[in-house]
Amino acid sequence: MENQFLAQAQSGKNAWWRYLVGILIILIVWQVGGALLILPLIAANQGKVPEEATPVSFVFFLSTFAFLLLGTWLVNRLWHGRSVLSLTTPFGRVNWKRVFLGIAVWLVAMTIVAVVEALLHPGRYVLNPNPVSIIPYFLLGLVLIPMQTSAEEYFFRGYLLQASGRLMRNPFALSVLNGVLFAFPHLMNPEVGVMGLALSVAFYAAMGFFLAWLTLRSQTLELALGIHAANNFFTGIFANYVTTALPTESLFIIQTLDPVFGLVSFLVAAGAVYLVLSLTGMRQLAFAR
């Protein structure tokens, strides 16, 4: 049976060279637009990228992803002649229940992982001595973090996944490829220096694979949109690391970045969430049409 999500790429102007040009346009829009936002912030910080968490830097860094989202939407609409909806779902309208289901199940999974890690490693999670300081990040994050994660989802699990679906149809191979592509830009994150290259590639590729697999299995982007937003919101607002690509004031501060535990716990959480969605009463909402 043909995957209806991938079939969206058969409409509009879909020559292979258009995807190559489209990817280039999206990346240029993202990088140029992001630079226009970040350069004034760097100039105001004596030519250095701010490393300390401030609400201003939080807004500026996350806002750069608006250009990735805008570039992906414009290229899909103007260059390929397809609607934004075609990158989201083939079923006529966005099913917000799926989005919120993804948010709910992943927040539960991450909470369990955090509790287990805190119990196994006492002292690793330290309560922020000034919990009031998280309020600006919490309020700003409600809007900016879903925008940031949606930008990545529309580009990687929307545009790139549908584009690669023009070349191959095997869902496992597509998910592996998408995971590898997802890992590349994340290797510039500062936490890679702590995690090590091999474990960083494995972690980000596993996340990309999981989100791509869910997208192909459900034939929509909705679950991936919810899970990715929940993941980054939990990490940024509730339990952030000392070394991170997006410094924030979080409720708990994780003193030690444990890449092996992070990778293993992600694989276990992803497997458990997939089984819950597949085998429980959530199956009809998550996967079946």
Q: How many CB atoms lie within 10 A of CB 23?
A: 17
Q: Cβ atoms within 10 A of the Cβ of 71, count? A: 25
Backbone angles phi, psi at 241, to 5 degrees: -90, 165
Low-confidence spans in the chain with pLDDT less than 50: none
Place of tokens 């760097």: 42
Number of domains within the chain: 1
Residue 203 confidence (pLDDT): 96
Q: What is the per-residue pLDDT for 98?
A: 94
> pTM, whole model, 2 decimals?
0.94
Tokens of 147: 């925008």
Domain containing 280 equals 4-286
* Tens of pLDDT, residues 90-133: 999 999 999 999 999 999 999 999 999 999 999 999 999 999 99
Dihedral in degrees, nearest 10, Cα atoms 77, 215, 244, 29: -10
Instruction: Report pLDDT digits (tens) over 194-222.
Output: 889 999 999 999 999 999 999 999 999 99
